[in-house]
Amino acid sequence: MPPGAAPAGASALVLAAAGALVGLLRPCTRLSPVVPWLLAVLAAAVPPLVRGVAAAAGAGVARPLDLLSSWFWTAAAAVLLVPALLALERRLAPVEDGRAR
């Protein structure tokens, strides 16, 4: 069975929920340059957390070390990608009032 196939694409739904949560909190990212990284690291914890809860409820098996490893590598990728994506977003953003951001 492919990943995310049971039940009804739960993995995709969890990832969508994590992305939506980060999107809702996006206005807070202007408070500090560290906030986007923190949000990305917290969002990276959502899928392993849901997998662990599902395993505890009897839907599959999830070893704690696998969950921690999944969170760590996802968070590490996010920490490396967030600055590049923010720079790209700023570069592609329209100019407001004749001033660049």
Instruction: Name 61's Cβ contacts closer than 8 Å, sequence gap at least 6.
Output: 55
Better pLDDT: 70 or 14: 70
Q: What is the pLDDT of residues 46-98, one digit of tens each?
A: 888 888 888 888 877 888 899 899 899 888 888 888 778 878 888 888 766 55
Containing 52, the helix (H) or strand (E) segment is helix 35-56
Q: Which residues contact 25 (CB under 8 A, 6 or more apart)?
A: 39
**The model's pTM:** 0.60
> Which one, of 9, 85, 98, lies nearest residue 47 by Cα?
9
- Candidates 55, 50, 41; CA nearest to 17 is 50
Q: Looking at the chain, how many residues does it have?
A: 101
